[in-house]
Amino acid sequence: MEPKMIQKLIETAIGQLQYAYVPYSGFRVGAALLAQNGTVYTGCNIENAAYTPSNCAERTAFFKAVSEGVTEFSAICIVGGKDGILTEYTPPCGVCRQVMMEFCDPEQFQIILATDVQNYHIFTLKELLPMGFGPGNLE
């Protein structure tokens, strides 16, 4: 991926931290999901007083895109930290990895974990979810 696009995704994900609805954990997460058509879908985590209905930033971004008819993706950037302070990478939870598996080619889809525009690491979905179960298994 071009460095300019990586920077754009990191900046967009960081820009989402302000919208995280996190009255229970205080842990803010932002995501920027790049569709193959070039559109970037944003997401933040959204918590709930009943806890289990909470939604991760990554799934917010995926579901926004899919709800608008977009189902093909190239990359996602994820940032997160307590009170929105980015000191370590925030890897996607298992449920979000599984949602990625539904829509993305595990060998192609790039997951960018970042703490700022200069400090990031790119993984493929396959690296974070080896031998994942996906739509192909039901064929």
Could you give the residue numbers annotated as active site? 58
Pick one of 12, 14, 47, 113: the residue that binds ligand THU (CB under 6 A). Answer: 47
SS3 104: coil
Q: How far is CA 112 from the centre of its chain?
A: 8
Q: Buried (b) or exposed (e) across 5-22, using 16+ Cβ within 10 A?
A: bbebbbebbbebbebbeb
Pick 38 or 93: Cβ nearer ligand THU: 93
Q: Are strands 73-82 and 110-116 parallel, antiparallel or unpaired?
A: parallel
Q: Applying CB under 6 A, does 89 fall inside the site for ligand THU?
A: no
- For residue 116, give the DSSP letter: E
Q: Applying CB under 6 A, does 22 fall inside the site for ligand THU?
A: yes
Least distance (Å) between residue 22 CB and ligand THU: 6
Subset of 100-139 contacting ligand THU (CB under 6 A): none
97, 126 Cβ separation under 8 angstroms: no
Least distance (Å) between residue 26 CB and ligand THU: 9
Q: Applying CB under 6 A, does 54 fall inside the site for ligand THU?
A: yes
16, 44 Cβ separation under 8 angstroms: yes
Q: Applying CB under 6 A, does 79 fall inside the site for ligand THU?
A: no
Q: Applying CB under 6 A, does 57 fall inside the site for ligand THU?
A: yes
Q: Applying CB under 6 A, does 25 fall inside the site for ligand THU?
A: yes
Which amino acid is it at 123? Answer: F
| Contact window for ligand THU (CB under 6 A) among 2-10, 86-94, 106-114, 126-134 | 86-94
Q: Rounded to 5, what percent of the chain is helix, strand, coil? A: 30, 30, 40
Interface residues with ligand THU (CB under 6 A)?
22, 25, 27, 29, 45, 47, 54, 56-58, 78, 90, 92-93, 96
